[in-house]
Amino acid sequence: MDILYVHPAKQEVDARYDKFRSSPPYPFIPVGVVGFVNMLRAEGYQVRGLNLPVELLQRPTFSLSQWLRSQRIQPKLVLIDLHWYEHSFGALSVAQAVKETLSDAVVVIGGLTTSYYGEEILADFPYVDYAVRGDAEEPLRQLAAQVVGKGSSQVGDIPNLIRRPGSGPKAEQNLGFYFADSAMLDSLDFVSMDWLSNQRAYAGLQYSGAGLVTLEKPKFFSHWLTVGRGCVFDCIYCGGGKESHSELAGRNGYVMRSPEGVVEDVARLAKEGFQQVNLSLDIATYPAKWWRAFFKQLRDREIRIGIYNEFFQLPSNDFIDEMCRTADLAHTEVAISPLSGDEEVRRTNGKYYTNERFLRMLETLKKYEVPIFIYFSLNLPGETPQTFKKTLQLADQIGKTYPHDLLRMLNPCHTLDPMSPMSRRPDSFGMNVQFNTFRDYYDYCKGTGWEPRRVVRGQHRGFEMASRPTRIIEQMAQIWDVFAQAQQFRCFPVPRGW
Ligand code: B12
Ligand code: SF4
């Protein structure tokens, strides 16, 4: 093996899920990793991948260090994603284990959280050699040539690469900048997963819906597929909105793949026996020309597969009609996030529709018997015991109108996203923000990996509404739990982990 990719858990590198009650391990690999791993393989490198939480959930005594030592040829380059802030501690715990086992390996991190905090991470954590800001294909192609292939260019010339200069601890970034355009995205292979250990278990885990799926014996298989990058919205709690992508990756709005390219990938998945494909961005917010072409080509080629799509806003009836004529509805699910039953709270947070339009849209989905997952968000700015009554009313109304076997509902607490508008401009939203530096996220993850005996929901989320102390969130959570328990559909209590 030349290159190893590791997806860390939220928890430490040797987490024992069989012994303690954990917060979610966050086992999803960033969708874009698939593209650059396959690109490196196409360049001729031997690449392998480990999804650490999936390994640990299956074999609780799995040891990354031992596994590394047991390899006949050890990797020269180790890639670890630090994309979601939830991996701030876990990713560095993996980096430390790698460096302590293979002192000559070059350790590289990347992803959205790395993109924001790369300099601070390199200054504080000696186990990391390089951090990639923004898109990673071109930087990794050049770095792999340098580290594995003994290339002749200087690392100082590699775009988007943050490095420690020889003379001191302060990190520097080369001025060259790279971000993937549509043609680049279409040229990548976002489907092949044969480089990943336990790929079938991981495909089972990615399936969204009602099917009974276990890691050991998955019944259905799904795959998160890149359909583009970026976003055109700026929901105030989100670190992946338009402004953040512009700041972190130099992108303005969506960079879309072509419908033809995506159809080709969906055809491959269907042929390989996948029941579902999860689209990385809401194609209902792409131009109508795009999704009409996409659905038509799927129908013309008689490709039937379930689709998981999260609606960023409300889809049009036309979109729903097209999707339902095309997809295998037995394996389809759509997620919708009204956030609150109060229209003003919803609008403040970035979702622009009324309850009336929302309920009318649900009627259209109901006509086609589409399974839906509704997300509220208990602790967002503006949600108070008064507005929360409207959330309960809306949740109740949905439960009374939508078929119970097709409905799932959750009302979790949100943690502050780095680079989100809330994080950057807390005063505009009446917030106090507690997480500012990478160290704050590192400590948050280290302290919340395992469920304590007594949990106050809303605690350790990195922000607080100035006029709504955390104990109020716990009170609202308890009211939600009572409501959830009384429902006939799958309405979940407010999660106790982080
Ligand atoms: C689709 C999606 C999901 C899907 C997962 C899809 C997947 N497998 O990636 C689902 C619904 C499962 C999901 C879950 C979560 N998500 Co999400 N998700 C998105 C969304 C809408 C699009 C994904 C995307 O396009 N990413 C952006 C592109 C740039 O990333 P990418 O192509 O995967 O990776 C590129 C670079 O980041 C970098 N890179 C990534 N990894 C690595 C590793 C190395 C070594 C290197 C060098 C580079 C590198 O290179 C890649 C290619 O160039 C974004 C919002 C958005 N519009 O971006 C949110 C977003 C990424 N998610 C977010 C969050 C918070 C979560 C959750 C933690 C939510 C929760 N509390 O459960 C979970 C974590 C799940 C887990 N790990 O198990 C935040 C992240 C904020 C932050 N900075 O941490 C975002 C920005 C928005 C949001 N609030 O939802 N998510
Ligand atoms: S939460 Fe809002 S800004 Fe973030 S990806 Fe979704 S639609 Fe875009």
Q: Which two tokens stand for residue 453?
A: 């005996």
Q: What is the three-class DSSP state of 374?
A: strand
Q: For a pocket test of ligand 1, which of 143, 189, 280, 375 has the largest count of ligand atoms closer than 8 A to its C-beta?
A: 280
Helices (H), 88-136: 88-101, 112-124
**What single DSSP character describes residue 467?**
T
Domain ranges of the chain: 3-134+136-173, 201-491
Q: Which two tokens stand for residue 338?
A: 């009204």
Instruction: Decide if 114 contacts 133 (C-beta within 8 A).
Output: yes
Ligand 2 in contact with 235 (CB < 6 A)? yes
The atom number, within ligand 2, closest to the CA of 285 reads 7
Ligand 1 in contact with 417 (CB < 6 A)? yes
Ligand 1 in contact with 29 (CB < 6 A)? yes
Number of neighbouring beta carbons within 10 Å of residue 38:
19
Q: Which CATH class is domain 201-491?
A: alpha beta
The reported pLDDT for the residue numbered 211 is: 64
CA distance 314 to 191: 28
240 CA to middle of ligand 1, Å? 8
CA distance 467 to 457: 17
Which residues on adjacent β-strands are paired with residue 311? 336
**Sheet of 276-279: strands edge to edge?**
222-225, 276-279, 306-311, 333-339, 372-376, 407-410, 490-491
CA distance 99 to 298: 47
Chain centre to alpha carbon of residue 467: 31
Beta strands in 363-434 (DSSP E): 372-376, 407-410, 431-433
Ligand 2 in contact with 36 (CB < 6 A)? no
Positive or negative torsion for Cα 387, 392, 393, 399: positive
Instruction: Decide if 445 contacts 89 (C-beta within 8 A).
Output: yes
The atom number, within ligand 2, closest to the CA of 238 reads 4
The reported pLDDT for the residue numbered 168 is: 55
Give 375: exposed, middle or buried? Use CB within 10 Å, 0-12, 13-18, 19+: middle
The radius of gyration computed from the CA coordinates of the chain, to the nearest angstrom, equals 22
CA distance 43 to 286: 32
The reported pLDDT for the residue numbered 216 is: 85
Ligand 1 in contact with 420 (CB < 6 A)? no
The reported pLDDT for the residue numbered 171 is: 72
Positive or negative torsion for Cα 100, 104, 105, 111: positive
Instruction: Decide if 297 contacts 263 (C-beta within 8 A).
Output: yes
Q: What is the mean pLDDT of each run of 10 residues along the chain (498 residues)?
A: 98 96 97 98 98 96 97 96 98 98 97 97 96 97 93 83 73 81 98 97 92 81 98 98 96 97 98 98 98 98 98 98 98 98 98 98 98 98 97 98 97 98 95 97 98 94 93 97 98 97
Task: Identify which of 460, 463, 461 has the alpha carbon closest to the alpha carbon of residue 427.
Answer: 463
| End-to-end alpha carbon distance in the chain | 35
- CATH level 3 topology of 3-134+136-173: Rossmann fold (3.40.50)
Q: Which two tokens stand for residue 267?
A: 């055809």
pTM: 0.97
The reported pLDDT for the residue numbered 169 is: 53
φ/ψ bin of 230: left (φ > 0), alpha (ψ from -120 to 50), beta (otherwise): left
φ/ψ bin of 56: left (φ > 0), alpha (ψ from -120 to 50), beta (otherwise): alpha
The atom number, within ligand 2, closest to the CA of 350 reads 2
The reported pLDDT for the residue numbered 253 is: 97
CA distance 165 to 174: 11
The reported pLDDT for the residue numbered 217 is: 87
